[in-house]
Amino acid sequence: MLSDSQEFGKKSESVAVRYLKKNGYKILIRNYRTKLGEIDIIAKDKDTLVFVEVKARKSSYYANPKWGVTLKKQKKISMVALWYLKSTKQNRTKARFDVVAVSAGGDKPKIELIKNAFELAYG
């Protein structure tokens, strides 16, 4: 049984997937997990492999959800992305990191896509 927070996260991720598909992305994997961490969505946008982090907030009381992708989170996503590229032998593949910010409110959530939201972060 999922908690309210987990259920909200799952719904927000589905909203993000629909949005990305509508904007030409091809979804390859959802919830890619390794011992290092997780990437919410791995997709293709034309010839680019895209690692997508979905951040959502139930209320606009707090800051825009995109600000939840901290440097620490960027480092973790970067490590998982490098693991994915290496394990799938795609080291030379063009890749980037996008963030989908979902702000709930009313009947229709506000969705913001930030392409190339951050560079590879490690160290």
Domain 4-118, CATH number (from 3.10.310.30, 3.30.70.1020, 3.40.1350.10, 3.40.50.720): 3.40.1350.10
Residue 97 has pLDDT above 80, yes or no: yes
Please give the residue that has the higher pLDDT: either 103 or 24: 24
pLDDT in tens, 53-85: 999 877 655 667 777 788 999 999 999 999 999
Residue 13 has pLDDT above 60, yes or no: yes
How much is the mean pLDDT over the chain?
Answer: 89
pLDDT of residue 12: 86
How many CA atoms within 13 Å lie on the side-chain side of 48? 12
Q: What is the pTM for the complete model shown?
A: 0.90
pLDDT in tens, 25-51: 999 999 999 999 999 999 999 999 999
Candidates 115, 123, 72, 73; CA nearest to 97 is 115
Written as six digits, the tokens of 52 are 């997508």
Written as six digits, the tokens of 86 are 């290496």
Phi then psi for residue 6, to 5 deg, are -65, -40
> What is the rounded CA–CA span in Å between residue 95 and residue 11?
26
pLDDT of residue 4: 74
Please give the residue that has the higher pLDDT: either 123 or 5: 5
